[in-house]
Amino acid sequence: MGTCVIFVEEQHKMKSTQIITLIFLYILSLISCKEEVGPDLIFHSANIYTVEEEQGNAQALAIKDGFILAIGDNKSVLSAKGSNTKIIDAKGQFLMPGFIEGHGHFTGMGNSLINLNLLNTKNWEEVLSMVKSKVGETKKGAWLKGRGWHQEKWDTPLQEHVHGYPYHDELSKLTADNPVILFHASGHSLFANEKAMNAVGISKETPDPIGGKIIRDNAGQAIGVFEERAMKPFREAFNSYEESISKEETYALWLKGINLAQELCLQQGVTSFQDAGSTFKELNDYKTLAEAGDLDIRLWAMIRESHEDIESNLSPYPIIGAGNNFFTCRAIKSEVDGALGSFGAWLLKPYHDKPGFEGQNTTSLKDVVKIAKLAKQKDLQMCVHSIGDRANRVVLDMFEAHMPKKGYAEGSRWRIEHAQHLNPADIGRFSELGVIASMQAVHCTSDAPFVEKRLGEKRSKEGAYAWRSLLDSGARIANGTDVPVEDISPLDCIYAAVTRKRKDNDLAFFTEQKMSRAEAIKSYTLDNAYAAFEENSKGSIKVGKLADIILLDKNLMTCSEKEILDAKVTMTVVGGEIKYVR
C-alpha cells in the first residue's frame, strides 16, 4: 500500500508526459496492491457448518491476518485470491469452528501426561502394576504422584474394602522407599501409601479436618484414602518436596507437560481451552508463554487460590486478550462441594446408598460470598463448582443475592461449574438469573454406572445431567470434559451429549435428556464462547471472527451416531495458522 500513496503525493509536481506514465504505473501498482491485500489462506470445496442461525450453503472461506475475511461459494471466494494466497482443497470435508474446551485443567492435563496416568485402569491390580513399574524408574525417596483411578469403574470386586476402597497394605509393600499419592479421577480424594502417611504424620489419633474425611477401618486406622480437605497435608508435603527440587527443573517439567497438552488439544481440534482454576504463579506462566508467542491454543482461565491470598493479588486482573488474544483471565473459581462418586456431592436429602449422609460442604459459604464480592468489585466472572442439588441451590441463592444485575451486556455470566444434580425446582432459575450451566456431557455417561446407586431412581431421572430440561427452560449450557478427569475428546463428549450412552457398552442414562446434534455442537463452540464473553470473536464461522477452524473427515450433523466416535480431526487452524495436519 505504501507505494500507492507515494505515487499519489508526487504526481502533483510532474510534467504531463511523466504524469501519463505515472498514471499508468499507478494503475499497475493498484493491481499489485489488490494482489497484496488478497487473503493469506482460502479453503474451498468444504462442507461448512457455521454454527450461526443462518447456515446458508457456504463452501469456501478466506482468512487474512488471522481473522475470517470472507465466506461464500467457491467461485466468489476464490475470485479474491492474491498471488500469495495459499489454497486448500477441503475435498468435501466438514469445516467448523474449532472446539472450545469449556472446563478443563491445563496444568493438570500436562501433569497427567508426564505423571502416572491411571485414567484407563480397570481394577486395583492394574493400578498396583502401573505403580510398580513407575517406582522402578524413580529414585529412592522421591515422591511419586499419579491420578485417575476410580473404584466405581473397576471390573473386579475387592476382597477387602471400606466403602469400595482398598486398603493401602499391598501398595505400601511395593513402594517402601517412596512416598506415593494417587489422586482419584475426580480430584476430590487421594490414595496414600504408608510412607506418605508417615511423612505427614497420620495416626489413629489424627482427627478428620473440617470439610474432609479420613477413611478408616473398624479399628479407626486410616486405610489410605483421604477425601476433600483431608488431602491438604499431602498436597503441602508434595509441594515442599517439589520446592526442594531446583526451580529450573520444576519449570522444565511443567513446560514439558504443557507442550504435550497443547499438542493433544490440537490433535483433538481444541483451539481454545477454558482452564477451571489456576494459581497466580501458573496464570503468570501462561501469560508469559502467550506473550512470547509460545501458546498454540488460546487459554481463558479462572483464578483459583486460597481465600487468604486472593484479595491481595488481584490488582493485575482481569487480563483480557494478552499475547495476541492467546491469554485471558477474567474469572474466579470457588467450590462448595465435592464429587458424587466419593460421596462429596452436597445433597438436599441423604444418599440412597449411605443413609443419613448428605455429603460435604467443602468451602464455608461465608468464604464463597467473600470471593463473590471480590469478583463483583473487580468485574470478574464468578464460577462455583457445585455438584449436589443442595450445592446448586445454595449457589443459585448466593448468585441471586450478589451477582451484579447490570454492567455487562446481557448480564454478568456467572457460572456454575458442573451443575450436575439439580432439584427440579431449581432448573428454571438458571435462565431466569442468567447463570451459565457449565456442564460436562461425558461425565454423565462416565458416571452412569453409579449415579442411580447414589441418588435413587427419582432424583436421577428428574435432575441428573438435566440438559434437555435446562435447554428447554432457556438456559445456556457450556460443555467440556474436565480433563484430566476425563480424556480431552470433544467427539466422545458430543457423542455422550447426543446419545447419553456409554461408548464401551451402550449403557444408556435417561435418554430423554439428550441434546440435538446442533445443540451439542453449539454447546462446544458458540455457547462456550458466550460463557467466556468471547462470542464476538470465537465460536462460529463469521466474517471478522478469529480464524480458529477445524476440518473433520465426517459430517457431524449427518453421520451415524457411531461415526461421531470414529470421526477424525484432519486439520486444526488457530489464528489462520495451520497448527496440525493429520
Q: Which long-range contacts (CB under 8 A, 24 or more apart) does 258-261 make?
A: 258/106, 258/107, 258/110, 258/289, 259/110, 260/110, 260/113, 260/114, 261/106, 261/109, 261/110, 261/113
User: CB 50 → Zn ion: shortest distance, Å?
Assistant: 30
Question: Within 13 Å, how many C-alpha atoms sit on residue 162's CB side?
Answer: 16
User: Looking at 165-173, 439-447, 479-487, 506-514, which segment touches Zn ion (CB under 5 A)?
Assistant: 479-487
The strand pair at 415-418 and 381-386 is best described as parallel
- Helix (H, G, I), strand (E, B), or coil: what is residue 133? helix
The b/e string for 396-434 (b: 16+ C-beta within 10 A; e otherwise) is bebbeebbeeeeeeeebbbbbbbbbbbbeebbebbbebb
Residue whose CB is less far from Zn ion, 171 or 395: 395
Among 337, 304, 362, CA closest to 105: 304
Residue whose CB is less far from Zn ion, 276 or 303: 276
For Zn ion, the binding residues in 264-283 under the rule CB under 5 A are: 276
Would you give the end-to-end CA distance of the chain in angstroms?
A: 37
User: CB 490 → Zn ion: shortest distance, Å?
Assistant: 16
User: CB 417 → Zn ion: shortest distance, Å?
Assistant: 6
User: CB 7 → Zn ion: shortest distance, Å?
Assistant: 59
User: CB 438 → Zn ion: shortest distance, Å?
Assistant: 9
**Sign of the CA dihedral 560, 542, 545, 523?**
negative
Residue whose CB is less far from Zn ion, 26 or 524: 524
User: CB 276 → Zn ion: shortest distance, Å?
Assistant: 4
The strand pair at 436-439 and 60-64 is best described as unpaired
Residue whose CB is less far from Zn ion, 452 or 482: 482
User: Is 361:407 a contact under the CB 8 Å cutoff?
Assistant: no
User: Looking at 247-255, 303-311, 480-488, 550-558, which segment touches Zn ion (CB under 5 A)?
Assistant: 480-488
Residue whose CB is less far from Zn ion, 107 or 328: 107
Residue whose CB is less far from Zn ion, 270 or 276: 276
Question: Within 13 Å, how many C-alpha atoms sit on residue 446's CB side?
Answer: 23
User: Looking at 141-149, 164-172, 219-227, 474-482, which segment touches Zn ion (CB under 5 A)?
Assistant: 474-482
Residue whose CB is less far from Zn ion, 385 or 514: 385
Site of grid cell 517439567: 253
Interface size with Zn ion, residues (CB under 5 A): 2
User: CB 254 → Zn ion: shortest distance, Å?
Assistant: 19
Q: Count of CB atoms within 10 A of residue 241's CB?
A: 15
Question: Within 13 Å, how many C-alpha atoms sit on residue 116's CB side?
Answer: 28
User: CB 484 → Zn ion: shortest distance, Å?
Assistant: 9
User: CB 385 → Zn ion: shortest distance, Å?
Assistant: 7
Residue whose CB is less far from Zn ion, 275 or 548: 275
User: Looking at 283-291, 442-450, 476-484, 553-561, which segment touches Zn ion (CB under 5 A)?
Assistant: 476-484
Q: 482, 486, 534, 548: which one contacts Zn ion (CB under 5 A)?
A: 482
**Cα 440 from Cα 196, distance rounded (Å):** 33
Encoded amino acid at 223, one letter: I
For Zn ion, the binding residues in 240-269 under the rule CB under 5 A are: none
Among 418, 542, 536, CA closest to 477: 418
Residue whose CB is less far from Zn ion, 109 or 276: 276
C-alpha cell at 181: 499419592
User: Is 509:465 a contact under the CB 8 Å cutoff?
Assistant: yes
User: Looking at 252-260, 420-428, 481-489, 556-564, which segment touches Zn ion (CB under 5 A)?
Assistant: 481-489
Among 331, 498, 358, 497, CA closest to 417: 331
Residue whose CB is less far from Zn ion, 276 or 368: 276
User: CB 103 → Zn ion: shortest distance, Å?
Assistant: 6
User: CB 483 → Zn ion: shortest distance, Å?
Assistant: 9
User: Looking at 350-358, 433-441, 475-483, 530-538, which segment touches Zn ion (CB under 5 A)?
Assistant: 475-483
Residue 185 binds Zn ion, judged by CB under 5 A: no
Residue whose CB is less far from Zn ion, 166 or 187: 187
C-alpha cell at 291: 506473550
Q: Which residues bind Zn ion (CB under 5 A)?
A: 276, 482
